[in-house]
Amino acid sequence: MTDIDTLDWPRIEADLDAYGAAATGPLLSPEQCAALVALYDEPEHFRSRVVMARHGFGRGEYQYFAHPLPPLVAGMRTGFWPRLVGIAHRWTGRDYPATHAEYLERCHAAGQQKPTPLLLRYGAGDYNCLHQDLYGAEVFPLQVAILLSRPDAEFGGGAFVLTEQRPRMQSRAEVVPLRQGEAVVFAVAERPVQGTRGTYRVKLRHGVSRVTWGARHTLGVIFHNAA
């Protein structure tokens, strides 16, 4: 695994400000990716399973991790946190505590106790409709998704897609190509844009285009908990 602190943070931060999303470069090793994928078939790690077609969310399924989170998953939350709080503060004007553990206390006070990190599994024909991962009033504005499968070797299609809705304008789409073990950091729901007459906010949604063959797995890391 690459140390989160050694990722190219000036470039990631610049991409986040410009596009609302940034690929990190290599993060997890193929062995770590395989170990996370293997967890999917061990139900004791999870608090709930969602079959996307049943809710109109798309096609495919995912499971939310239960407490205690596997160390690698917990490490993604605590490791990314100090690198994201400055950006989140600039975007929202809110102050965030130095550690993710302290932020969880804020989530708990807001009635959001359930862990939100999740493992997603897509097969041929599956896709994830454009959405925002909001689970209550407490929202941390950035999240991370890590591709665990090898594109073009284990699956085809299945692009990570973001759309951005500017006020009174048509939507813009952004595709973030990822390698196995690479993460994308992206805006949960909105981001500020510097306009000529001050700052305005654009709405973002993310999803995954249709997987044309094979199996695609991702680890989703959301920093706020769920009600």
The sign one gets for the Cα dihedral 183, 25, 68, 83 is: negative
Q: Does 220 bind ligand AKG (CB under 6 A)?
A: yes
Pure H helices in the chain:
9-19, 30-39, 52-55, 71-92, 100-109
In whole angstroms, the minimum distance from the beta carbon of 128 to Fe ion comes to 7
Pick from 88, 185, 208, 211 the residue near ligand AKG by CB under 6 A. Answer: 208
Residue 53 dihedral angles phi and psi, to the nearest 5° = -60, -30
Sign of CA dihedral 103, 87, 141, 198: positive
- Which position's Cβ is nearest ligand AKG? 220
**Contact status: 145 vs ligand AKG (CB under 6 A):** yes
Nearest approach, Cβ of residue 87 and ligand AKG (Å): 18
Sign of the CA dihedral with 40 first, then 46, 49, and 52 last: negative
Q: Which of residues 147-166 bind ligand AKG (CB under 6 A)?
A: 160
- Which residue stretch of 62-70, 80-88, 127-135, 186-194 sits at the interface with Fe ion (rule: CB under 5 A)? 127-135
Q: Between residues 155 and 160, which has the closer beta carbon with respect to Fe ion?
A: 160
Determine the residue type at 49: R
Whether the CA torsion 135, 141, 167, 162 is positive or negative: it is: negative
Enter the tokens of residue 112. 């959001």
Site for Fe ion contains 61 (CB under 5 A): no
Closest separation in Å from C-beta 163 to Fe ion? 13
Among positions 126, 133, 138, 182, the unique one binding Fe ion when judged by CB under 5 A: 133
- What are the residues facing 185 on neighbouring strands? 22, 144
Q: Is 194 exposed, middle or buried (0-12, 13-18, 19+ CB in 10 A)?
A: exposed
Which of ligand AKG, Fe ion, none binds 224 (CB below 5-8 Å, type-dependent)? Answer: none
Which C-beta is closer to ligand AKG: that of 88 or that of 120?
120
Binding mask 109-128 for ligand AKG (x = CB under 6 A): -----------x-------x
Q: What is the smallest separation between the CB atom of 207 and ligand AKG, expressed in angstroms?
A: 7
The binding site for Fe ion (CB under 5 A) comprises 133
The binding site for ligand AKG (CB under 6 A) comprises 120, 128, 133, 145, 160, 206, 208, 218, 220
